């Protein structure tokens, strides 16, 4: 088992969507992420998912919310779990 990426928090990308499957309004996204981040500036975030694909969805949501600056961990969980040195 690869464990947990230290400091990682989980907010599924589907939380960015309304009932019709479209991005929520920028104001709603901003409120969602400000509450979730609890004061952490967006430029201190590294977003990841299983393979780096849906994390891009979150980066777009952050930008729409007026909270740009987060980075993408391109390798995401797929890379993390196969690299034993990342877990030490």
pLDDT recorded at residue 1: 45
Single pTM value for the model:
0.82
pLDDT recorded at residue 3: 67
Catalytic-role residue among 29, 45, 47, 49: 49
Torsion angle of C-alpha atoms 52, 56, 59, 63, degrees rounded to 10: 170
pLDDT recorded at residue 78: 74
Measured CA distances, 24 to 4, 33, 50, 67, 87 (Å): 29, 12, 23, 14, 35
The segments of the chain whose pLDDT lies below 50 read 1
pLDDT recorded at residue 85: 62
Annotated active-site residue 49? The verdict is yes
pLDDT recorded at residue 36: 93
pLDDT recorded at residue 87: 52
């Amino acid at each position: 088992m690869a464990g947990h990426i230290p400091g990682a928090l989980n907010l599924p990308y589907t939380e960015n969507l309304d009932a019709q499957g479209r991005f929520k309004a920028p104001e709603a996204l901003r409120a969602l992420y400000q509450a979730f981040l609890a004061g952490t500036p967006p430029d201190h975030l590294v977003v990841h998912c299983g393979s780096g694909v849906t994390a891009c969805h979150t980066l777009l949501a952050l930008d729409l919310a007026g909270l740009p600056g987060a980075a993408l961990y391109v390798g995401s969980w797929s890379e993390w779990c196969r690299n034993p040195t990342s877990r030490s």
